[in-house]
Structure 1
């Protein structure tokens, strides 16, 4: 890992660590003025409808900021430093840290000297101020990012010539690979840890939400990609549905090429862009299929050249039958 990558990771993590320090400092300064139970959740009208202990507040602050810092560290570690999308992601991290950090302090200030947590109010204009803090933090992040000498983007690879796989007449072949995503797997594991901590702290409702998010991430963290007589199919790790299928009759041609997901698709997961869709799990080697209507579908997976060659051969066979 070169110096640019280290500096990007440090800048990506920095705002969350600073926000955590501010929140913990505010708690230490206001601790003697806080009630035993803190008003922690507020309705749209600004009134409180839930409380938490001092311990659960501290655990939430630590887990939230450290978890976000870890997530942005993964983004900075795996993203392409030459693409503009990664810089935008770093700026977004500063905005998120500014917003979350302010709101956690605002909760403490609202609870200060409160005799009854049920009467604590948190008006919606606090969100406006929080958004302003996020925008200011994003501006600071943009200035800090100017200190990093970004590499020039590499030229986009050409479309390549579609390959064929030599199969004898009547010979049957299939191809299958897993397409693991370290980002989704890491996020899912981090959310499980968060759910356990929240459950221990007594936040059952929040723990269930975190656990649900973790299960969704893990279920889609390592999908199966297959090429056979049915065409191209991608399905989740352990579930038969939802699945994405491109039938052979809809395949115009398939190629293998490198994809930078932040630059071309803007992120991970199932992505939609004008003229194309994709199952984006990481940057790198991908199977790209041009469909009969002109749209493209891409999935990032290893050994995509073999998959593309087989898909072209099977599609040619299917076309010959018609």
Structure 2
């Protein structure tokens, strides 16, 4: 792995996260209480993981048997009470596997929150059964658990940052040049797209003004239909602009925005065709069928984006 771990590294982490001897003793007691839930934990962990669509890229139901023992081992180590350089190395090995697989950090944080909820519920359940509702150990035990999980999460996320930096630092000069150039080129292209969309928006707004002028020249129906089409195109341009801005800020690019452009352009064409009587009926039916297909595609893409957002 190429990472040198010393006892002082773990001592520093224990100090920073205020994990004292009392907390270590509490975690051992928690381990005695929760060890019987290890199989239930592994099942619940896997079921929770499958709820996230992006997790399917890294794990499937067939993988459950392969990783079940590893998940149970991690669960047991969590309450071992032996938090030294060897334990820190163990966490870093786990982080390396996750980083090599490309598992996103948000998924790691989400699953760590699940572990926190799972363990807290079982701590409360066991202590209430043993000592009654007013047990003061509940808060003390859950606080010790949170300290350890926060330490665990911090180490994993720190490895991700170091992993990305190390990948760049260890690259040869040619690779570094390509990486820097590609990033700058991508940024320039993003700016060019935004500027192009802004210009396009101004042009469409100008077309809208020109179509409104038709009202004052007696061509009411043509001006109204064309103005509505222009507003539709302007709306889709704004959708694309907002989508590109979100993408530059680190978000995902909304595919539905591009489908909406095609849909809006086709609808505008249909509105204009409604004023023309020279076009054959078959052509107009073809436009109608295209609108229907684009509408279905837009609905499907939008639904997948909504599910992914959940």
TM over 0.5, yes or no?
no
Bigger fraction of residues in helix: 2
Q: Looking at CA atoms only, which structure, 1 or 2, has the larger radius of gyration?
A: 2
